[in-house]
Each structure stands twice: as structure tokens, then as C-alpha cells.
Amino acid sequence: MNRTLPPCVFVIFGATGDLARRKLFPALYNLYAEGILPSRFAVVGVGRRLADQEAFLADVWAAIERFSRKINPELRESFLALIHYHRFDLADKTGFAQLAADLRRIDNERGTSGNRVYCLSVGPDQFEIVIDQLKEHRLVSNNDGAWQRVMVEKPFGRDLTTATNLNAKITGVFPEHSIFRIDHYLGKEMLQNLVAIRFANALFEPLWNSRYIDNVQLSVAESEGVGTRARYYESAGALRDVVQNHLLQMLTLVAMEPPVDLSSEAIRDEKVKVLRSLQPMTPAEIRRNTVRGQYGAGKIMGEAVPAYRDELNVAPQSTVETYAALRLEVPNFRWAGVPFYLRTGKRMPFRSAEIVIEFKSLPGVLYFRQQPPIAPNLLVIKVQPEEGVAIQFNTQGMGNNKGIIPVQMDFCQNCRFPSQSPEAYERLIADAILGDPTLFTRWDEVAHQWRYIDQIAAAWAENGAELPLYSAGSWGPEEADQLLRREGRRWHVYQPQNGSY
Ligand code: BG6
């Protein structure tokens, strides 16, 4: 695909918020530094927190210095010259009228042709206000060759009903092909790479099914706690915050059939088929196959950290889960009988997102009569912090050790050039400007994801009190280990001390 980005204005609602500072501005800066942004381009930031343009630009640059993967101070002036700040409360209609006038002026001055990406980086309670106002001020027309698109941050609803209502509101103003629903995990290099690893390797694809794969483990572990986001997190929890989106998206990429081509629709069609094959669990199955937990006080890298219930803006008796694990199956032709174990948690020992494919043992393996038994073959897709692929296979020990030992072959994509790997948001912003929706979630994906999660959330709500605590700095509640142990399996976690899983 031609990656020349067309002229446009990138409008950020919530430009003084946390996401804009941590992700959006550093990503825009890197796209600029690498010459990827179009020459006719501007950024308009709408926010409330900062008083004026000067304070805003100082804050933007401070955020870039802190969060960007690289920095060139010489680009400061020219990059900041692209940015305009609008301070108003989103409920204030005159603010939108001024914004509309300003956008027209910028189009004239910069030749941006009325093309716009509206990025909703505000709280979900404000999505609808912005959409209404964009409509009322005729900021979405999609005519005369100009286009306007909307990038919607998560959470996309809180359940299927609220997501459906939100979707109806947005599709009342923007056509589906102009809606870019963000799941930033899709922008991560190794998740994009997964399609290539699976379908470009004779080494893997023939084995990618229930005949050879014993189980699949998908983990998103974070060492951070809830931080300053408790107001949102208290109404979400790990299930809605990460399982509903990032983990189910990872699942679709691992499990999908080869698409007919690499177009966004073909890929998304295959992903939806995976979600459609998930069977709703009965309440008894939910009790048996899911685990929730909440972190208590503990230590992360030797440093004492508080319990979730002692964090800022968390209710002292909160029963919100900061950890979720589930065992599910994808009962289709390729995967029937293979367990998929998903887990995510805050305050885990270290940050790590990984996909582990565990292969079945060979029938003749008993021939070696070894204790402990021979380790399984593993294929590990390392999503972050290291990006790469590791393969664990068995070999004979050297010298006097004639036993079979597991060894790893490790491909590290980002360790040689640590600052070269683009952040997810760089790719996502460029794709939205380009109009390529492949790495965004289509409505039917979101709907199926909520349908599956809603039943678990409802069952959990009924048993809210059953919430095991785990110590910060551990791998979650014992019940999550039990989920695998009862089937003779275990979570594979990288052990830095001996370099194995
Ligand atoms: C976000 C969740 O979607 O993903 C956060 O809302 C979580 O709670 C974050 O911390 C993890 O993203 P990353 O890219 O840091 O792994």
C-alpha cells in the first residue's frame, strides 16, 4: 500500500489528558521526526486543563521529552508550530462554533482540504457530546472530496447494550468506514507480525491446530497498579479493561484461519469467525473456568506498594478485580479440544505480554524414561517489553549429562535497535490518516466481544464477594494456577535467572 499520508488536520479532544500526553503527542512527534506526516498538516488540541497556547505547548514538549522513544531538540520549534490549542468545556457550544471557524481558517492557511481525523481521547461519558456537536456544527460532511474520520478510544461501552447505543450514535454521523475504534494492542509490532509468522512459515503453519498444539496461553501482565485511573477502573475491572479487548483480539489473531488476502475486511472477517465460534459458558462453567482476584499490599522489585483498596479514589471495600484468568475453547474445526488460557493482572512481578503455544508431547517420548519428564516444545511470541519470538526445544545435554534438556532459540526484534520500534499509536495514527482500518476493531468484533464478556461479568457480579486477594508482586491468586494444574498443566513464565520458561 502507498504510505503517503494525505493532507489533514488531526483534532484531539482531551488534548490535556493523560493519554494525549503519554501516547498521542509522542506518537505524532515521532511520525513528524521520521518524515511520515504529510507536509500539509496541523494538530488541533481541545482541552480544559491548561490556560493558553503557550502553557499547552510547554506541556506538550515536556510530555514528548518524557514519553517519546527518541528525541531531537532541534525539531522542537517546527513540530510545535503545527499545533493549535482550544480551551473550552465540551458542554460549551460556543467553543465548538469557534473550533469550526478555526478549522476552516487552518484549512485555508495550510491547504488541509477539509480532511480531518477527530480523535476522541476523552472519558466515555463525553463521546456522545462530541459526536452531537460535530454534527450540529457541520464538522462532518464527507463531500467535495474531503473526508472526516473519527478515532474512538476505549472503553467502547461497558457492555453490549451501552456499546450498541454508542455505536448507533456514532454511525448516525460517521459511516462505518470512517470509524476507527482503537484497540491499541493491534498496533503492537508483534501482533501485526503474528500474521506473517503464522502464514509465511512452513515451519509453523502445518502444526497450528489441535493435532499438534496442546494449549495456548495469552498473558498481559503489568507491574503497575491502577495509578491515577481508579475512577474509570472502579467501574471496569480487569475483565472489561483488558480481557474484553486486548486479550480477545490476541486470541483472534492466534486462532483465525488464513484470510483470502491481506485486506482489512478479509482479515477482520476471519477474526469475527473466531469470536463467533466462542460458546457462551453456563454459570457452572464460569465458576469452574474463570478466576478473579484483587491485589493486596506487596513488593514490586523490592519496593513496597499499597493494596488496591488503599489506592487513590478506590472504595475501601471495593470488589473490583485487578486480575482475571479464564480457560476457554474455540470449538471449531481447527481448535476443538485445545484449551486457551487467558490472563491479565496489575501488580504482577514484571511487565510482560506474551503468547505461548505449547505443543503436544511426542508419543515416543517415554522412550527416554526421564525424570522430570521432557519439557514440551514452546513457541513464544513476545509482544512486550521485548519484541521477538523464542522457541524452546529439546536437545541432549553435553559431556557426562546425556539427559534431554530444554534449550531456547531466541529472536529478539527490538533489542539491537531499541528505539527503532514504533509505538503502537504511531502506526494507528498513520493508518487513521491513511484510511486503513485493518488495525482497528470493526463493530461486529466489538459486539461479539461484549456478548461473550457480558455473561461472565453478570455471573461475577452475582458472586461479587468471592474475590481472592493476591500479593502485589506475585503472579495472581492460587486459583489461577489451579485452573491449569487440575489439567496437568502450568503457566509458562519466563524465568530470567535460568533463561527458560
Ligand atoms: C489499556 C488499559 O487499554 O491497556 C490499561 O486500559 C492497561 O489498564 C493498558 O494498563 C496496557 O497497555 P500497554 O500498552 O501498556 O500494555
pLDDT digits (tens, 9 = 90+) for 315-374: 999 999 999 999 999 999 999 999 999 999 999 999 999 999 999 998 776 667 788 888
Q: How many of the other CB atoms lie within 10 Å of CB of 92?
A: 12
Look over the chain and give the mean of its residue pLDDT values, rounded to a whole number.
94
Three-class DSSP category at 257: coil
pLDDT over threshold 70, residue 423:
yes
Q: Which atom, in ligand 1's list, is nearest to the CA of 224?
A: 10
Name the band, by pLDDT with cuts 50, 70 and 90, for residue 378: very high
Tell me: pLDDT of 2 over 60: no
Q: Residue 110: is its pLDDT beyond 70?
A: yes
Q: Which residue, among 477, 473, 451, has the nearest Cα to 291 in the 3D structure?
A: 477
- pLDDT for residue 417 is more than 90: no
Does the Cβ of 423 fall within 6 Å of ligand 1? no
User: Residue 371: which residues within 8 A CB-CB, separation 6 or more?
Assistant: none
Q: Which of 18, 184, 188 best tests ligand 1's pocket when mutated (most atoms within 8 Å of CB)?
A: 184
Torsion angles phi and psi, residue 408, rounded to 5? -120, 140
Give the pLDDT score at 415.
Answer: 80
pLDDT of residue 126: 94
- Catalytic residue (choose from 84, 86, 184, 246): 246
Name the residue at shortest CA distance from atom 4 of ligand 1: 242
Query: Which mutation among 190, 242, 323, 343 tests ligand 1's pocket best, with the greatest number of atoms within 8 A of CB?
Result: 242
> Would you place residue 402 in the very low, low, confident or very high pLDDT band (cuts 50, 70, 90)?
confident
- Which element (helix H / strand E) includes 254? helix 248-255
For residue 229, the ligand 1 atom closest to its alpha carbon is 8
Atom number in ligand 1 closest to CA 346:
10
- Ligand 1 atom nearest residue 185's Cα: 14
Q: What is the mean pLDDT of residues 372-384?
A: 93
If pLDDT is split at 50, 70 and 90, which confidence band does 240 have?
very high
**Which residue's C-alpha comes closest to atom 15 of ligand 1?**
222
Q: Provide mean pLDDT across the span 214-236.
A: 96
State which ligand 1 atom lies nearest to the alpha carbon of 353.
16
Q: How far is the CA of 271 from the centre of ligand 1 (A)?
A: 21
What's the pLDDT at 1? Answer: 46
pLDDT class for 19, splitting at 50, 70, 90?
Answer: very high
> Bigger pLDDT: 69 or 144?
69
Active site residue 448: no
Q: What's residue 164's pLDDT? A: 97
Chain segment 254-295, per-residue pLDDT in tens: 999 999 999 999 999 999 999 999 999 999 999 999 999 999
Residue 189 near ligand 1, beta carbon < 6 Å = no
Q: Residue 366's pLDDT is what?
A: 65
Pocket test of ligand 1: the residue of 154, 222, 229, 348 to mutate, having most ligand atoms within 8 Å of its CB, is: 222
Taking alpha carbons only, the member of 189, 138, 124 closest to residue 381 is 189
Name the percent of the chain lying above pLDDT 70.
98
SS (H, E, C) 10-51: EEEECCCCHHHHHHHHHHHHHHHHCCCCCCCEEEEEEECCCC
Could you tell me the distance, in angstroms and rounded to a whole number, from the CA of residue 200 to the centre of ligand 1? 29
Angle (deg, nearest 10), helices 25-33 and 424-434: 70
Task: Give the residue among 1, 11, 69 at the shortest CA–CA distance from 429.
Answer: 11
pLDDT at 136: 95
* Residue type at position 146: A
* 222 Cβ inside 6 Å of ligand 1: yes
The confidence score (pLDDT) of residue 174 equals 97
Q: Does any ligand 1 atom lie closer than 6 A to the CB of residue 241?
A: yes
Instruction: Tell me if residue 159 falls in helix, strand or coil.
Output: coil
Grid coordinates representing 141 are: 460532511
Atom of ligand 1 nearest to the CA of 154: 3
- What is the per-residue pLDDT for 400? 79
Locate all alpha helices (DSSP H) within 172-247, ordered by sequence: 189-199, 230-233, 237-238
Distance from chain centroid for Cα 258: 22
Q: Which of 36-50, 83-97, 175-189, 417-431 has the lowest mean pLDDT?
A: 417-431
State the pLDDT confidence band at 77, using cuts at 50, 70 and 90.
very high
Span from the CA of 128 to the centroid of ligand 1 (angstroms)? 23
Rounded average pLDDT over 447-454: 98
| CB of 59 shorter than 6 A to ligand 1 | no
**For the chain, percent of residues with pLDDT exceeding 90:** 86
- Tell me which H or E stretch contains 295: strand 290-296
Secondary-structure percent of the chain, ordered helix, strand, coil, rounded to 5: 40, 20, 40
pLDDT value of position 464: 66
Write out the three cell numbers for 78. 517546527
Grade residue 36 by pLDDT with cuts at 50, 70 and 90: very high
> Does the reported pTM lie above 0.75?
yes
| Ligand 1 center to 236 CA (angstroms) | 13
Choosing from 189, 223, 224, 241 the residue with most ligand 1 atoms within 8 A of its CB, the one to mutate for a pocket test is 241
